[in-house]
Structure 1
Amino acid sequence: MKVALSVAGSDSGAGAGIQADLKTFSALGVYGCTAITAITAQNTKKVAEILAIAPEMVKAQIASVMADSPPDAVKVGMVYSNDIIDAVAGSLRGRMPVVLDPILVAGTGAKLLRDDALERFISRLMPRCSLLTPNRMEAEKLSGVRIKGEAGAIEAAERLRSLGAKNVIVKGGHFGKATVTDFLLDGKGRLTKIANPRIDIEESHGSGCNFSSAATAYLARGIPLEEACRMANEYVHVAIKNAVRVGKGLPVTNPLSSIYRDAMRYGTITELQQALDRLATIKDFYRLIPETQTNLVYALPDAESYKDVAGVRGRIVRAGEAAVPVSRAEFGASRHMASAILAYKSARPAYRSVINIRLDPQVLEICRSLFQVSSYDRSKEPMGIKEKEGSTIAWGTKSALARKPEADVIYHQGDVSKEPMITLFGKSPGDVLDRVEKILKRS
């Protein structure tokens, strides 16, 4: 397994520093080691206290790691003082990549590098680094270049390279534009722009640490510099998008969100596929399939759009006396049933699955005897809803729940060229199929 070493400060709020680096290393499949340079008492609102670690102890931590688990890449973050800078610079021996994140000021405003240490930072650490990762303000402070736009960012990067940094990426999060563009100037003077849409969020805590540690992890895995920066950019974009509020101050970037999401997507698809296998064995289910066919869908716990809802591509069809999925289960396969579960889930978050079945008077009466039932009238659908493709089912589901919030069965009698339908909701696909079997036992 590849090893990455983080030389940085400790954040008691765990949003940045050593704690953020370890989360990122773990999320990207790299074993993380640490050398702590300072202990901070901080939270999402402020840095209350800073205790610098003795330089000899900083050197001892690095030496201990180097002797036993030589890192494949090193990330250097908060170094705070001249003595610590000398300790770190003197300890970084070898040919492994070194990513230097110039931690000058915390997002909450506290100084994390002493004023008298800036010159030593530039002269001793920048020539040792493989990649320097400043934001706009850090690039201005280190280079002395006033950055107003793209030309300023490039000029600053060139200046930082002349001061010893082999490669420089000036991050674009503080440029105030709708598109966030990072400017990577490599060792051969080639400029690469890496852009993403701006996320509608205020300043977040930890994004800089997450980026630099992600770049370190990718470099440790042997990924070329430009690609490592692109992948780190995308990784942090997702982490910022899924930022969480754990305190009263800044939102904290979420470096583990991609792991949780991938795990949830795998679990959701697996559980849905198991339910589809079970559905194929349910006797007489084919009789419940409407003319427009059936779909069984399952939403992620935090689903926001149809792309977060898994279903059967092409639906479930009747083949003789059997029900057969015509394709595999995948996310984004059913916009109609996805809109139903998304609308339902907004009122009852624990419910993540739904199936549509044929509306038959007998089946409807059985549903009324077994479940809580509500309905909506498609003929009363507002014109603005009718004109918006795919919005009818969401409108109808919410309307039915407004009348009967506990309803787990919702139906409509159809409209011009629209088949009457029953939608049956459950907390999981297995829960939905349990209800289907109860209906069939009564019919």
Structure 2
Amino acid sequence: MRTPLVALSVAGTDSGGAAGLAADLTTFAALGAHGASAVTAVTAQDTTGVHRVVALAPDDVRAQVRAVLDDLPVAAAKTGMLGSAAVAGVVADALAGRVPLVVDPVLVATSGAALADEAVVAAYRDLLLPGADVVTPNRDEAATLTGLPWETAPESLALALHDLGPAVVLTGGDPGSGRCLDVVVRDGVVSVLEHPTIATRNDHGTGCTFSAALAVGLARGLDLCAAVSRSQAFVSRALTSSAAWELGRGRGPVAHTFTPHHHQHHHQQES
């Protein structure tokens, strides 16, 4: 088997194992990539909420990122919870333009806990997004980052984010309709990629999982829409796998305990 691609996650921990670095590293592994990490914050977190956050200093985050970049051939990176505007600046300085960079703008936890203040939101807009390759917000995050009303059409929200620099994958949909529509904007062109929704409460970590899968797809050199489609399929399989789980008292974790079919295909090609 060939030496695997290396993907780097810059994110916070989740003591419950559902989101953040736990989701990123297990997704990287499931897709055949070696996961490296830089911890931005340590959280006391479970399926019911985030109970405590201890943010690391910018110099600590910088040292971790530098250690990885100086030693390993990072093929793509992604960000999750950053914790402070200063850390967003560190990430932008270290990674923007150096490797394919996917920014998952983690502003609010699945439980509803706020994970970013106005200074962090401004840092995303001014420092991180202009140098990122792709940003993967949900509708709430897109509205917060653009300052537009939540009711704004998803295509308009995505185009407004695209004006800040990166390609955009605006995730979302109408669970009641059974459809999920992800709006992709690249080079000013809007595409809408549809896939079925999965009826489940076990969706903690879905956004992290999707963006981590997308980073691996870009590391493999896939076109953005192809990488999005494969990431959608990966997340759908994960949600289906955990739909009947009974873990935790709140929104349970999305599964990271399976081997996706398309990874098996890549493994056969690379062996």
TM-score between both structures, scaled by the size of structure 2: 0.90
1:168 aligns with 2:171: no
Deviations 1:203-259 (A, max 9, x none): 720000000000001111121211001100111111112223321111211133345
Q: Relative contact order (C-alpha < 8 Å, sep 6+): which is higher?
A: 2
Separation in 2, partners of 1:223, 1:120: 29
Is the alpha carbon distance of 1:108 and 1:39 closer, same or farther for their aligned partners in structure 2, counting shifts above 3 Å? same
Overall identity of the aligned pairs, in %: 38
1:224 aligns with 2:227: no
User: Corresponding residue for 2:236?
Assistant: 237
Separation in 1, partners of 2:189, 2:96: 27
Higher Rg of the two aligned structures: 1
Deviations 1:172-203 (A, max 9, x none): 146753211111111x2222221122211237
Deviations 1:130-167 (A, max 9, x none): 1110011111111223344xx710101110011222x1
Residues 96 and 131 in structure 2, CA contact (< 8 A), matched pair in contact too: no
SS of 1:105 mapped into structure 2: coil
Separation in 2, partners of 1:45, 1:122: 30
Residues 8 and 76 in structure 1, CA contact (< 8 A), matched pair in contact too: yes
TM-score between both structures, scaled by the size of structure 1: 0.56
User: How big is the alpha-carbon RMSD for the aligned residues of Structure 1 and Structure 2?
Assistant: 1.9
Is the alpha carbon distance of 1:51 and 1:141 closer, same or farther for their aligned partners in structure 2, counting shifts above 3 Å? same
Is the alpha carbon distance of 1:27 and 1:203 closer, same or farther for their aligned partners in structure 2, counting shifts above 3 Å? closer
Residues 5 and 33 in structure 1, CA contact (< 8 A), matched pair in contact too: yes
Is the alpha carbon distance of 1:55 and 1:193 closer, same or farther for their aligned partners in structure 2, counting shifts above 3 Å? same
Is the alpha carbon distance of 1:221 and 1:50 closer, same or farther for their aligned partners in structure 2, counting shifts above 3 Å? same
| Aligned pairs for 1:172-251 within 5 A | 172-173=172-173, 176-186=176-186, 188-202=187-201, 204-243=203-242, 244-251=245-252
Separation in 1, partners of 2:136, 2:194: 16
Separation in 2, partners of 1:83, 1:120: 8
User: Corresponding residue for 1:420?
Assistant: none
1:2 aligns with 2:5: yes
1:168 partner amino acid: V
1:184 partner amino acid: V
Residues 99 and 132 in structure 1, CA contact (< 8 A), matched pair in contact too: yes
User: Corresponding residue for 2:108?
Assistant: 105
1:81 aligns with 2:81: no
2:76 partner amino acid: A
User: Corresponding residue for 2:69?
Assistant: 66
Separation in 2, partners of 1:79, 1:52: 8
Deviations 1:64-105 (A, max 9, x none): 000000310000111111121122122115442100001000
Residues 24 and 256 in structure 1, CA contact (< 8 A), matched pair in contact too: no
Residues 107 and 203 in structure 1, CA contact (< 8 A), matched pair in contact too: no
User: Corresponding residue for 2:253?
Assistant: 252
Separation in 1, partners of 2:146, 2:24: 26
**Structure 1: which 5+ runs fail to align?**
264-443
Comparing 246-255 and 27-36, the one that deviates more: 246-255
Separation in 2, partners of 1:134, 1:203: 20
SS of 2:92 mapped into structure 1: helix
SS of 1:249 mapped into structure 2: coil
Residues 136 and 174 in structure 1, CA contact (< 8 A), matched pair in contact too: no
Is the alpha carbon distance of 1:203 and 1:191 closer, same or farther for their aligned partners in structure 2, counting shifts above 3 Å? farther
**Structure 2: which 5+ runs fail to align?**
265-271
Separation in 1, partners of 2:24, 2:96: 21
Separation in 2, partners of 1:256, 1:24: 9
Deviations 1:357-393 (A, max 9, x none): xxxxxxxxxxxxxxxxxxxxxxxxxxxxxxxxxxxxx
Separation in 2, partners of 1:77, 1:66: 18
Separation in 1, partners of 2:140, 2:149: 9
